[in-house]
Amino acid sequence: QSALTQPASVSGSPGQSITISCTGTSSDVGVYNYVSWYQKHPGEAPKLVIHDVTTRPSGVSNRFSGSKSGNTASLTISGLQAEDEADYYCSSFTSSSLYVFGTGTKVTVL
C-alpha cells in the first residue's frame, strides 16, 4: 500500500487561506469517506482536526474544513494563524490493508 500523495510544503501569510491536497486511488480516498486529517507539531502527538472527510471534532477551530472530489481530498485552513504552522497528514481507510497515511505537508506561516 503506497502512501497518499501530499505536497511537501505549503505556505501562506497570516489571515490568508491555504489548501492541502491528498491524492489517493480508487481503493481508498476515491471510494471511502473515512478520510481524516491530523495536525502534528514537532515533538508532540498528532491531533485529529477533520474526520469523515468534512467533520470537525469538538474543540477544533472552524477555520479548518475538509472536502473531497474523486480520488483527492483537501484540507483548507482559513484565516491562517502562527499556531497553524505544523505538519499535516491525511489518512484514509483502504481496502488493501485498513489505513494509509499521506506523505505529509509542512505548513509555514510567513
Partner 1 sequence: EVQLLESGGGLVQPGGSLRLSCVGSGYTFDTSAMSWVRQAPGKGLEWVSAISGSGYSSYFGDSVKGRFTTSRDNSKNTLYLQMNSLRAEDTAIYFCAKEDSRIVGNNRMDYWGQGTLVTVSS
Question: Which residues would be at the binding site for partner 1 (CB under 8 A)?
Answer: 1, 3, 34-36, 38, 40, 44-48, 51-52, 57, 87, 89, 91-93, 97-104
Residue 53 or 77: which CB sits closer to partner 1? 53
3-state secondary structure 61-109: CCCEEEEEECCEEEEEECCCCHHHCEEEEEEEEECCCEEEEECCEEEEE
* In the complex, least distance from residue 62 CB atom to partner 1, rounded to whole angstroms: 18
- Show the CA angle centred on residue 29, arms to residues 10 and 102, nearest 5°: 40
Residue 12 or 46: which CB sits closer to partner 1? 46
Residue 17 or 95: which CB sits closer to partner 1? 95
